[in-house]
Amino acid sequence: MSRKYFGTDGVRGRVGQSPITPDFVMRLGYAAGKVLLGRSCMPSGERPAVLIGKDTRLSGYMLESALEAGFSAAGVDTCLVGPIPTPAVAYLTRALRLQAGIVISASHNPYYDNGIKFFSAQGTKLPDEVEQAIEDGIDQEMACVGAADLGRAVRIEDARGRYIEFCKSTFPNDLDLRGLKIVVDCAHGAAYQTAPSVFHELGAEVVTIGVQPNGLNINDGCGATSPKALADAVLAHRADLGLALDGDADRIQMVDAEGNLYDGDQLLFAIVRSRARHARVNGVVGTLMTNLALEHALAKLEIPFARAAVGDRYVVEMLNEKGWLFGGENSGHILALDRHTTGDGTVAALQVLAALREAGGDLKSLLAGLKLYPQKLINVPIVKGFPWKDHPAITAELAAVESRMAGRGRVLLRASGTEPLLRVMVEGEDAGQVLAEAETLAGVVREAAQ
């Protein structure tokens, strides 16, 4: 399916440049509103309503107003909740029985980027065909319903409190976090008013960093994409562990008392192994980027494993196809569909903490059964549309590296769905060979892309 605007996670780009401009976002809201009107079964005289949340980027104010105007022109009501995690929008859309949820966020990207992503009434990412229908309407002439039929906007004042209670409900009732000192890094992002409260209200002593957003500092040297700040804070405060969310709080990384970092593959393993002690786990879905060690560790537990395309929406799609509950990405998107419909950094952290409480000990001992293989990922800038798959130098070097790594690792080339980058990943048993092969292949890509 050809996409002009939508990527793997909605529409994203540099603010002020197409497509992240006020006029485009207004037309996007209008097109989405018209699609929702055509698909809704509202009682006569009632309008469909959507929920709009955002992270802490300064540009969110502008884009929120543009989206609201577009939906209003289409005759759709909007419920505004302000800065709130992406998974909170998914939860609230479902809980309030709304027709869709919209998030204004560029997730882990710097402040100068922003984006728009959608959730269905069920709290899941929109199906491809619905996104395509919205795309088809964006470039059509924008109109406006009659003055009496315009959509209205309301602000939901208790949205954060509702979401905090939901997160707490995913933690076992017979457990608490008393006696734990936890550093929580909110990346100056959407969870700065929710995540600390969740862990504090469950009994933990909470130390916060990354909770002073100014509109420009989201993900800047902190959060899940820059976990050194968390490791330093854990050591400085002599905390038991730390957790870092990204800008829209759907990713999680954790650090133990010694400052050791644990990624999404490791945290997913902790959750799955804990669940397997209580009930059968039918299978786990990872992605093309998932460390081979996780696949091998799950095999020892006799738990099937499958790989989806990179992107949490594709993990969810495969989970639903197979009827499985658990999946995720090494970047920290973790799916526990028995707890939430989408990836949620706070909820995922609570599942790891529940496993930790049940098993006793610390995070390091909890994950002793999984030793990740060395993996090197290099992001090479490319021009959008660069035909890397057909470039002879790249294909020849890729084949050569695959031959040298045969039986001892994996090689993957993948275009980013959110940035103009080609991701070069090499993974294997020997760290030196992994690094050398990754740098060699990345060098060929750089030269070819010039």
Which residues are catalytic, by number?
107
Spatial distance between the Cα atoms of 80 and 400, rounded to a whole number of angstroms: 53
Q: Which residue, among 261, 24, 225, has the nearest Cα to 106 in the 3D structure?
A: 225
How many whole angstroms from its chain centre is CA 275? 22
Cβ–Cβ < 8 Å for 118, 32: yes
The 3-class secondary structure across the chain, one letter per residue, is: CCCCCCECCEEEEECCCCCCCHHHHHHHHHHHHHHHHHHCCCCCCCCCEEEEEECCCCHHHHHHHHHHHHHHHHCCEEEEEEECCHHHHHHHHHHCCCCEEEEECCCCCCCCEEEEEEEECCCCECCHHHHHHHHHHHCCCCCCCCHHHCCCEEECCCHHHHHHHHHHHCCCCCCCCCCCEEEEECCCCCCCCCHHHHHHHCCCEEEEECCCCCCCCCCCCCCCCCCHHHHHHHHHHCCCEEEEECCCCCCEEEEECCCCEECHHHHHHHHHHHHHCCCCCCCEEEECCCCHHHHHHHHHCCCCEEEECCCHHHHHHHHHHHCCCEEECCCCCEEECCCCCCCCHHHHHHHHHHHHHHHCCCHHHHCCCCCCCCEEEEEEECCCCCCHHHCHHHHHHHHHHHHHHCCCEEEEEEECCCCCEEEEEEEECCHHHHHHHHHHHHHHHHHHHC
Spatial distance between the Cα atoms of 315 and 329, rounded to a whole number of angstroms: 8
How many whole angstroms from its chain centre is CA 191? 13
Name residue 391's beta-bridge partners.
Answer: none
